[in-house]
A and B are shown apart, each in its own frame.
Chain A
Amino acid sequence: MGMTISEKILAKASGRQKVEAGEYIVGKIDLAMIHDLTGPLTLNVMKEVGYDKPWDPEKVVIILDHQVPANSTVTAELHKQLRHYAKKHSIRNFHEVGRQGVCHQVLAESYVKPGMLVVGADSHTCSLGALGAFATGIGSTEMASVILTGEMWFRVPETIKFNLKNRLSKGVSAKDIILKIIGDMGVDGALYRAAEFSGDGVESLSVDSRLTMCNMAIEMGGKTGIVNPDKKTIEFTGVREAPLRSDPDAGYAAHYELDLGKLEPQVAMPHSVDNVKPISEVGEVEADQVFIGSCTNGRLEDLEAAASVIRGRKVKDGTRLIVIPASQRIYLEAERKGYIREFIEAGGVVCNPNCGPCLGGHMGILADGEVCVSTSNRNFIGRMGSTSSKVYLVSPETAAATAVEGKITDPRKYLR
């Protein structure tokens, strides 16, 4: 029997010809990332250990992204600690305020290549599987161990194969695909497993779209989302070749099929990411706030889709729109293409790249009873602020249409 791409990457990282699902291995890490909320705890652990020298400073990336620029003296201290650590050990890959973005997007733009074994002290590290890497989130103590040793134990996961067929229709995008899948699978439907997205439907999707899908693999418990690299991956990452791909006779724990051509926009209702309905069944939901951004949907393609709905229209009175590009690179490009101006002219606010209100820390926290329609990835109780607020998860197209009408709206009427 052949191997899946996940098995091949873990075999390579552990110096073996072959590994099988269920085995425990120790893998050499190609890239380790910390950010301003999980990184300081990692530094605390190393301080306790009494030793903090990274195994390889070139393979450690530090990104300020959760509360940027600092919104309190407490946050400012966290940033200072990371800045100091980077300087002390000559870590060049430190992303200062103004030279950063949401960590997973920065990793995608500048660091991750197909076949790498990547860990990040953030659960959405699984996004990077979209580039044909094996990428997964870990905690801060584990990260201290990785930074000191360059290694980590893994249980080789079983893989679920998601075979996506045909093309999406207009006004439907990658977010709708992954919401539909999570709704079908449940929030633990891929627990401990790798979610491999394949089929002609995936091949037709851009790298931006694949990042959106892999980003949310964790929301069904997945250890990583992953896409076999193709021409688009090679072009995006600038590598010459990407030889690690799943064998045709690789073993899968389960198969799932979806016809993209039949998909309509999806909405994850409060308070669980698997509480998913097609938009036609959602009913009337008024929005106090609309958020377009995050590691899920803050990329150029997302801003472009939202701008195409907003263009020439206004945000509805009684609703506020917050747009946050996922990186400085995207921010500049969106500015150059005129999207930023369009959001502002419509009555929205555009913030500098960071995680924004997604986790209730900064830039758009919700008051009691408020409703946010968001392109982010979690709608847990209290996720974006008050425990009595509500979050609905949607695509950028749907979010933009919602901003225009002040209530959850099918974007297809604006995109014919």
Chain B
Amino acid sequence: MTGSRIRARGWGWQHAGRDAAAVAGLDLDVEPGERLLLLGPSGAGKSTLLSALAGVLGGDEEGDETGELAVDGAHPSTLRGTAGLVLQDPQANTILSRVGDDVAFGCENLAVPRDEIWRRVADALDAVGLDVALDRSTAALSGGQRQRLALAGVLAMRPGLILLDEPTANLDPEGVVEVRDAVARVAAETGATLVVVEHRVDTWLPVVDRVVVLAPGGGAIADGTPDAVLGAHGAALAAQGVWVPGIPIDVPRPERRPGPALLVADGLRSGRRVAVHAPVSLEVAAGEALAVTGPNGAGKSTLALTLAGLLPPVDGSLAATEALRGGNLAEPAPVRWRPKQLATRIGTVFQQPEHQFVAPRVRDEVAAGLRALRRPEAEVAATVDGLLAALRLDALADANPFTLSGGEQRRLSVATVLAPAPRLVVLDEPTFGQDRRTWAELVRLIAELVDERGCAVVAVTHDADVVRILGDRILRLDAADGLEGSGTARGAAA
């Protein structure tokens, strides 16, 4: 199998209903078998270009195309099976409910004969190192396995061009390496042309041999070997949000003096009916941050929901101290508090911001919790204005929350949680899939919660930098039944 050739001449795309073009004036030649990393700030049209190359950008009603774009000499929308695309969200890449069927799906659409399909399915699963039964449920796969499954589904189509749109952004570190290595192996074995979009450059440097930087509304502003491009544009790219290796992020980390304990867990095990992790005993104190880490499936999110008073403990106990409850609330178990009692004491930032939104406008979204508490309208307005300004959302005050970008949605979800001024804030993967700039803003914001507002923070994260910068204490949950260093979670951060 040989790789595909890409040729773009003055190519551009403007989504219907948008004022500015997503991509304009792009000139690009990619030779068969080249392995390309596509960089640029958010809004530079990287995903748009990938969709166009995959032939799934849609027709005239979706937007306006200018210039010329060709894969192996033909417009991508006229090709089928030449390019294979893997998307960022592992959930979005899974089409059918069984592993074998999911891999076979593309082959069926390409009218590959039945015997040949199952040979290809076996080969593709082998190539990505996914050693599970063909009738295994796709719902039972981890994020890393899912992305390798998607890659297998693409491979089985024997494409000349493999397109990866932030394939590892939503994965834990183990999953990132799994997927990256599978891609490297596949690219080497098949000779397919590879185009990867990813903020985290260091992950992909061992795989790619060329880096192209796109500018918003412009074409390619840099093009060359990874060393040459990162050497010349590294600092500018970092400022635009790209994770350039070797450029540190500097977030102040003052000496912290923990205040009174707010929440005490004793032999706590959480889950939905069945416990998903070993017993945890810990104290969460005001003015300090606890980082909860561990691989996917270790029960971190479930533990966070339990600490946040949203799920009842399966075993052991969880009690709020008087410092958190205040004088007029006697019930120690947060899960038995009424919603209003909970929101003013413990705030939760969910992994997917969309799950939290209730209002048609950003401003009302931040105000919703306060209005439910029947705070005076003047106070609501003052709090909302303050939070919108602090989180750089003031320009978007009238926008619909669902239309915001990923980073903006994340900041908004933090603002909604902070509005009722809880003393304990629980965050589930707050930096997931964020570019460097948004990442730094979020980490600074969380640090401020601890240092300036004296909040307690519990952050579930597998981001080693978040742990390093924020974690005063670290609780590591391990997959399956073991829990390492669980006991007290007293170890200080390095």
| A pairs with B | no
Chain B contacts to A: CB under 8 angstroms: none
